[in-house]
Amino acid sequence: MEKITLKLFEFYALDADLNGVVSQTTGEKLSSGLLQEKLPLITKYWLTSLGKTVAAEKAAVEELKNELIKKFGKADENGNISIPMVIDETDTDGNPVQEPNAEGTLINRRKLNPDYQEFEKEFNELLQTEKELEYKPFKLSDFEKVETSDNYSTFFKLVQVEEVK
């Protein structure tokens, strides 16, 4: 087994390299991921094992992210907690500050939410944390028959390039 040190944000990227990416807004598949490629069974086994390890680390980070959302967010009338990126600007009495738009209609002035900025700061600091990943080493030759237009840049850090003889 090999070991590599990755930052936590790279675990997200590696998960996307392995499993693909789906748009959260439309549900459209943006990329398929390396596990969807035709690969030798042994290679697919070790990729699947790696995928499980990466998914577990990503789940742990998501749990910490949810704790930060609870810390900085506010509950709505249904009890759902969120942190809007922008909020209405208010005066000293707590009333929304209004200004005319291009058509002359009064609209609420918006500003960046300081709670969101704090959340983002703490979460980004977390994503910079380094974590060691143990994995079965891969060789470039394990993927010589794969034809893809995708770029698996984080996964490529785990691939050993053999010297040409």
The torsion angles phi and psi of 44, rounded to 5 degrees, stand at -65, -40
pLDDT of 165 above 80: no
How confident is the model over 17-49, as pLDDT tens digits? 999 988 888 888 888 899 999 999 999 999 999
What CA–CA distance (Å, rounded) separates 116 from 119?
5
User: Residue 85 — very low, low, confident or very high, per pLDDT cuts 50/70/90?
Assistant: very high
Q: Averaged over 51-60, what is the pLDDT?
A: 96
pLDDT of 161 above 90: no
Are 112 and 86 spatial neighbours (Cβ–Cβ below 8 Å)? yes
User: Residue 144 — very low, low, confident or very high, per pLDDT cuts 50/70/90?
Assistant: confident
Contact residues for 152 (Cβ-Cβ < 8 A; gap 6+): 17, 34
- pLDDT averaged over every residue in the chain: 92
Q: Averaged over 44-73, what is the pLDDT?
A: 96
User: Residue 150 — very low, low, confident or very high, per pLDDT cuts 50/70/90?
Assistant: confident
Residue 50 CB: number of other CB atoms within 10 A? Answer: 23
For the entire predicted model, the pTM comes to 0.82
β-bridge pairing 74-75 and 81-82:
antiparallel
pLDDT of 22: 87
Q: Averaged over 133-159, what is the pLDDT?
A: 91
E runs forming strands in the chain: 2-7, 21-22, 29-31, 74-75, 81-82, 86-88, 98-100, 106-108, 110-112, 130-135, 138-139, 159-160
